[in-house]
Amino acid sequence: MTGWLFYACVSAIAAAATAVLAKIGIEGVPATLATAFRTAVVLILGWAIVFGLGEQHALRTVSRRSFLFLTLSGLATGVSWLAYFRALQLGPASRVAPIDKLSLPLTLLLAMTVLGEPFSWRLVAGVGLMTIGALLTIT
């Protein structure tokens, strides 16, 4: 398994665990507070890994452009997590998680238009089928 594929699979497994663990943990907790707590845990874990790998020295070399886009990405993540936790509070994880994954076709469109990434009929068909599957969970 290539490097990116391995990490993508780990990400999928962790995301699946996230939905179930968050659904259990959010019971009786305001969604915003739960999101803030989760974010603090991610922050601590992230910086622990940075220092553990000795990557903190690279902070001085990060460009303003990278800081801008990482900040925008962080804001998008925050909005996503706040909405996700509220959705988990209001609905079943088995329905919320597939709808959350509708980010997949949106990511594909953005990757093609903004990043100029290529696409194939197989990729579009696969994403289309996944989108149909996610939409079927709504009813």
% of the chain surpassing 70 pLDDT: 99
Helix segments in the chain, DSSP class H? 3-25, 31-53, 64-90, 93-100, 103-113, 121-136
Average pLDDT, the chain: 92
CB 88 within 8 A of CB 121: no
- pLDDT value, residue 4: 85
In this structure, which amino acid lies at residue 70? L
Give the tokens for residue 24. 């259990």
What is the per-residue pLDDT across 10-22, written as a single tens digit (0 to 9) for each? 888 898 898 899 9
Give the tokens for residue 17. 């665990």
In angstroms, the first-to-last Cα distance of the chain is 36
**Is the pLDDT assigned to residue 1 strictly greater than 70?**
no
Q: How many CB atoms lie under 10 A from the CB of residue 131?
A: 17
- Taking alpha carbons only, the member of 30, 114, 36 closest to residue 81 is 36
